[in-house]
Amino acid sequence: MEQTKRQPRKLGWRFVLLAVVLAVLIGGVVRSLWLDVYFIPSASMEPLFRDGDRILVSRTDYQAEPVRRGDIVVFDGRGSFAPLNSGRGPVPDTLAGLGHWLGLAGGEDTYVKRVIGLPGDHVLCCDAGGRLTVNGQQVAEPYLYGGDNPSDLKFSVIVPAGRLWLMGDHRSMSADSRSLLGAPGGGMVPLDRVIGRPVQIIWPLDRFTAVPRPSAAAAPTMNKNGQ
């Protein structure tokens, strides 16, 4: 008697759908706990980050060890930097692009800057020598964009408790804490708005490199003689 062959069930599309759903769920967990991907659409952090770079951001680094001077932070600017967008659309320093496309991260209120002043610090620019100072000590800034001054805008601020004074490395192109001195909050960003630390440039491939965190010993504060 001739046996009939069972036709394989056509479940290929179901497996593909399940794989996609699992990938999205796993990606969501990873993003919420450990890592985000962001797109840099401006020159405000040159030469470290260039317009078009994609960066990987760790959400856990600053949980393990507190933010210190010289650190790079990605942060939520609502309530502090967000006024820079008022009536003008997204500020050039906004992180967007690839993060939105992948559904990972980013938005008009997300920014990347360098920590210059910690809570309680007196940040001044510029002193008689044309240098930025923190608590009366000159700051070495090897990360500055070539040809830029520490700041063309003079200021003297005391950073309130629980807040940070942040500036871009390409000072002449950066809208940062200096731009909001007269606004509510004075451009000081709450510590609890820090999202994480950039740890890797992942695109373009010819710029694929780790982003080292300055060591505590290499914090940018110098002595009063600038040595």
Mean pLDDT along residues 65-94? 70
Over the stretch 7-49, which tens digit does the pLDDT of each residue have? 555 556 665 555 554 544 444 444 445 688 998 988 999 999 9
Q: Is 164 helix (H, G, I), strand (E, B) or coil?
A: strand
The mean pLDDT of 74-96, rounded to a whole number, is 58
75 or 219: whose pLDDT is higher?
A: 75
Residue 10 confidence (pLDDT): 54
Q: Any idea which of 68-82, 87-101, 185-199 has the lowest mean pLDDT?
A: 87-101
Positions marked active-site: 44, 113
Q: Report the topology of domain 35-117+163-216.
A: Umud Fragment, subunit A (2.10.109)
Could you tell me the two tokens for 9?
A: 């069930």
Q: What is the largest CA-CA distance in the chain?
A: 104
Q: Which of 13-22, 98-107, 177-186, 196-205 has the highest mean pLDDT?
A: 196-205
pLDDT confidence tier of residue 157, bands split at 50, 70 and 90: very high
Residue 40 CA to residue 5 CA, distance in Å, equals 58
CA neighbours closer than 13 Å in the CB half-sphere of residue 37:
16
Q: What is the pLDDT of residues 139-154, one digit of tens each?
A: 999 999 999 999 999 9
Question: Which has the higher per-residue pLDDT, 19 or 212?
Answer: 212
Q: What backbone phi and psi angles, to 5 degrees, belong to 169?
A: -75, -30
155 by Cβ neighbours in 10 Å (0-12 / 13-18 / 19+) ranks as middle
